[in-house]
């Protein structure tokens, strides 16, 4: 589709703790070139106009996970969102549920704390073989839909359970990653991993609201991973 020059209206959450007492919503518009297709292209143009607008971005192709923001009420990556698909004014806010540092930049400490808490690394204490550990294509396929997580936090910050208990509930992203290691035939710590999650908060705060599935920019399904973990706990208990 050939797009033309057009002016796009925005309402953007602005807060600079260095000078502002409280956040405000800024009305601002920008003229886009035909080549400006994604929301991130528009943000870059806006920043050329007002260099104080602050946001994270890096790869601009949906693999680094930097530019997750709340767009018209929905968490998504700015670099993968077609600007012309959005109703105007386009309302941009930082990801909900995390402390705001400045403008669209949130403090992700709590999110990463939960990720780190699931021991996100392969545990296998046997001396490694000289060559690769073998894994059949079918066993490897179990990791599809799990290992692709880009840690953008769209899912966890769309989850009401994570909003209420970000310190206790691992959240959809962390749990998806936990299952990524549980599902890996090379990992030997399944029992310890399940023990760690068998807790009223860490896992069981998930009430299958499924916001995580709706917003994941990589089309991953944390709810399915969470259910598989729950199933394994049931099987283990019998």
Partner 1 sequence: MNVAKRTFDAVIVGAGGAGLRAALQLSEAGLRTAVLSKVFPTRSHTVAAQGGVAASLGNTTEDHWHWHMYDTVKGSDWLGDQDAIEFMCKKANEVVIELEHYGMPFDRTDNGKIYQRPFGGHSMNYGKSPVMRSCAAADRTGHAMLHALYQRNVRAHTQFFVEWMALDLIRDAEGNVLGVTALELETGEVSIFHSRATVFATGGSGRIFYSSTNAFTNTGDGLGMAARAGLPLEDMEFWQFHPTGVAGAGVLITEGVRGEGGILRNAGGERFMERYAPNLKDLASRDVVSRSMVTEINEGRGCGHDKDYVLLDITHLSPEIIMKRLPGIREISIRFAGVDPIKAPIPVVPTCHYQMGGIPTNFKGQVVHPRHGNPGTPVHGFYAAGECACASVHGANRLGTNSLLDLLVFGKSAGESVVADFKAGDLDLKPLPDDAADRSLARLARLESQKKDGNAVHDVRLAMQRTMQKHAGVFRFKDLLKEGVTAILEVAESAKSTYINDKSKVWNTARQDALELDNMIEVAKATMISAEARKESRGAHVRDDAPDTPEHPNGRDDQNWLKHTLWFSADNHLEYKPVHLKPLSDDVEPIALAKRTY
Q: How far is CA 218 from the centre of its chain?
A: 9
CA separation for the pair 133, 138 (Å, rounded): 15
Q: Which two tokens stand for residue 148?
A: 């692709």
Candidate residues 84, 187, 196, 198; the one interacting with partner 1 per rule CB under 8 A: 187
Task: Give the dihedral of Cα atoms 74, 83, 100, 45; nearest 10 deg.
Answer: 180
CA separation for the pair 183, 165 (Å, rounded): 26
Contact 156, 100 (CB under 8 A): no
Nearest alpha-carbon partner for 124 in 189, 178, 61, 74? 189
Binding mask 141-180 for partner 1 (x = CB under 8 A): --x---xx-xx-----------------------------
CA separation for the pair 126, 20 (Å, rounded): 55
Cβ 209 to partner 1 shortest distance, Å = 26
Cβ 3 to partner 1 shortest distance, Å = 11
| Residue 13 near partner 1 by CB under 8 A | no
| Residue 102 near partner 1 by CB under 8 A | yes
Residues 71-90 that bind partner 1 (CB under 8 A): 80
Tell me the window of 4-12, 59-67, 84-92, 191-199 that interacts with partner 1 (CB under 8 A).
59-67
- Per the DSSP assignment, residues forming a β-bridge with 105 are 102
Q: Which is nearer to partner 1, 24 or 124 (CB)?
A: 124
Site for partner 1, rule CB under 8 A? 1, 16-19, 35, 37, 47-48, 50-52, 54-66, 80, 101-103, 105, 108, 112, 116, 119-122, 124, 128, 130-137, 139-140, 143, 147-148, 150-151, 181, 184, 186-187
């Amino acid at each position: 589709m050939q797009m033309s020059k057009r002016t796009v209206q925005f309402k953007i959450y602005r807060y600079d703790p260095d000078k502002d007492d409280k956040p405000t919503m800024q009305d601002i518009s920008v003229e886009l070139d035909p080549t400006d297709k994604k929301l991130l292209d528009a943000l870059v143009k806006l920043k050329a106009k007002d260099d104080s607008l602050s946001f994270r971005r890096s790869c601009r192709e949906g693999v680094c996970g930097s530019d997750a923001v709340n767009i018209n009420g929905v968490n998504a990556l700015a670099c993968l969102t077609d600007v012309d698909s959005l109703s105007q004014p386009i309302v941009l806010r930082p990801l909900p549920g995390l402390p705001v540092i400045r403008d669209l930049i949130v403090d992700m400490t709590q999110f990463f704390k939960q990720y780190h808490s699931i021991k996100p690394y392969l545990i296998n204490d046997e001396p490694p073989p000289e060559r690769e550990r073998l894994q059949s294509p079918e066993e490897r396929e179990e990791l599809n839909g799990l290992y692709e997580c880009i840690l953008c936090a769209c899912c966890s910050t769309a989850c009401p359970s994570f909003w209420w208990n970000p310190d206790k509930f691992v959240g959809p992203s962390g749990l998806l990653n936990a299952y990524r290691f549980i599902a890996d035939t090379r990992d030997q710590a399944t029992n310890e991993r399940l023990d760690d999650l068998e807790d009223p908060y860490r896992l069981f705060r998930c009430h299958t609201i499924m916001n995580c599935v709706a917003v994941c920019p990589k089309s991953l399904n944390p709810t399915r991973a969470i259910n598989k973990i729950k199933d394994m706990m049931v099987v283990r208990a019998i």
